[in-house]
């Protein structure tokens, strides 16, 4: 049983949003949605807060979920080049070595990003922790052939994985 220190229930709403508002990329509405349960001390454990935030996304509806997916930057894409990613995304992409792409890898990322966005209307999402450039490119090549529904579901699942990793970091586990 992993608890946060300080406990989310000991925070005021602004403190909670400042700490947990970025768990889901540029979507503080997720943290805001769970705030009533946080106030009741139902989210002081890592697993409980993770489940509540996941449920908020899963219950949000496809339009809001699409906005959440679109809030994520492309991998090794334009936002990375321009320095426009969140600190979390920047750190995660660097951790996977995406800031050290060879010219060939970079060109493939750019081509895949463009094809993927044209096909699905949102960026390719993968929780990069535990991956390197080669395994990310392999997953990218495989998933680009998915149908739209399967890929939408895959993107949401990857976003949940990213959020779980970010929550673990906040809890001091990773």
pLDDT tens by residue, the chain, 174 residues: 899 999 999 999 999 999 999 999 999 999 999 999 999 999 999 999 999 999 999 999 999 999 999 999 988 877 566 677 788 887 888 887 888 888 899 999 999 999 999 999 999 999 999 999 999 999 999 999 999 999 999 999 999 999 999 999 999 997
Query: CA 160 to CA 12: how far, in whole Å?
Result: 25
Q: Is residue 118 part of a domain?
A: yes
Q: Is residue 136 part of a domain?
A: yes
Number of domains within the chain: 1
DSSP code per residue over 108-128? HHHHHHHHHHHHHSS------
Q: Is residue 113 part of a domain?
A: yes
Active site residue 131: no
Question: Quick one: pLDDT at residue 82?
Answer: 63
- Domain encompassing residue 85: 74-158
Question: Quick one: pLDDT at residue 79?
Answer: 59
* Predicted TM-score of the model (pTM): 0.94
- CATH number, domain of 96, equals 1.10.3330.10
Q: Is residue 25 part of a domain?
A: no
Question: Quick one: pLDDT at residue 90?
Answer: 77
Q: Is residue 143 part of a domain?
A: yes
List the catalytic residue out of 50, 72, 131, 143: 72
Query: CA 103 to CA 121: how far, in whole Å?
Result: 26
Q: Is residue 11 part of a domain?
A: no
| Residues whose CB is less than 8 angstroms from the CB of residue 170 and which lie 6 or more positions away in sequence, other chains included | 4, 19, 20, 23
């Amino acid at each position: 049983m992993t608890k946060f220190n300080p406990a989310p229930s000991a925070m005021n709403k602004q403190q909670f949003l400042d700490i947990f508002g970025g768990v889901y990329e540029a979507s503080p509405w997720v943290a805001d949605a769970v705030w009533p349960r946080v106030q009741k001390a139902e989210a002081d454990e890592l697993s409980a807060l993770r489940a509540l935030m996941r449920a908020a996304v899963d219950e949000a509806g496809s339009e809001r979920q699409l906005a959440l997916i679109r809030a994520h930057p492309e991998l090794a894409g334009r936002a990375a080049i321009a320095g426009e990613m969140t600190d979390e995304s920047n750190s995660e992409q660097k951790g996977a070595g995406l800031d050290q792409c060879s010219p060939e890898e970079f060109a493939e990322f750019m081509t895949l990003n463009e094809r993927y966005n044209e096909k699905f209307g949102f960026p390719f999402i993968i929780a990069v922790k535990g991956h390197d450039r080669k395994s990310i490119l392999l997953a990218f090549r495989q998933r680009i052939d998915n149908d739209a529904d399967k890929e939408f579901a895959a993107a949401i699942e990857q976003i949940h994985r990213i959020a779980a990793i970010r929550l673990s970091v906040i809890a001091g586990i990773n």
